[in-house]
Amino acid sequence: MKRLREVLLLALAIFLFAGSAVAGEGEGQHDRLVPLLGELDGWKAQPANGTSMVSARLKIITARRAYSKVDKGLVVSLVVNSGPVQEGDLQESSAEDEHNKVFTARVNGFWIKTTYNKNKNSGQLVVYLAYKEDSHSKLLVNFSGMDASEALLNIQKFDWDGMKVIVSPLL
C-alpha cells in the first residue's frame, strides 16, 4: 500500500508539471539574453550559453559567460526567474565580520547585493535589473582574485539599462 501511494504521488507530480507546460512558450528565450554578455576589454571570454525552462508555474531563463584575466575571474549569469526577490535585497543593509562583508546598496539606480569573502578575495554581486511581485531578473556575478569594488567596476562595463529593457518583457 505504501509503495502504491509513492507511485501515485510521483505520477501526480509528473502529471502536474507536464500538464502545466505551455508548448513552445519560453523555448529559446535565452537566445535574447546571450548577446548581452559581450566582450570585456582585457579579459578572455569563453563562449556564452543559455537555457530556457518555462511552464505555467515556473520560469527560469539564463545566459552565462565566464571571463578570465591572469589570476582573476568573473562568471556572469543573466537570469530571469519566477518568484519574488529575496526579502531584504531591495533595501540598504550592511554586515561585516573579520572574514566576510555583506551589503546592499543602490548603484546607478539598481539594487546590488554584495557578498565578499576577505580571506579568499572572492565573492558575489547580484544586480537586480527588473522585478515584479512574482518574478525578477538579475545579473549574477561570481568573482575571484579581486575585491568587491574591482568586481563592480568590471561589471559596470555591461549595459544594465539595455539588459533591463530586454528582460522586463520576459518577467
Is the predicted pLDDT of residue 7 greater than 90, yes or no? Answer: no
Which three cell numbers mark 120?
579568499
* pTM of the full structure: 0.83
Per-residue pLDDT at 26:
56
Q: Is the pLDDT of residue 66 over 90?
A: yes
Q: What is the pLDDT of residues 9-31, one digit of tens each?
A: 334 344 434 433 433 445 688 89
Query: Which uninterrupted H or E stretch holds 162?
Result: helix 160-167
pLDDT of residue 150: 97
- Report, as an integer, the average pLDDT of 135-157: 97
Q: Which three cell numbers stand for residue 158?
A: 555591461
User: Taken in order 102, 109, 76, 56, is the CA torsion positive or negative?
Assistant: positive
Q: Distance between CA atoms of 13 and 5, rounded to whole angstroms?
A: 12
- Judged against a pLDDT cut of 80, whether residue 55 lies above it is answered with yes
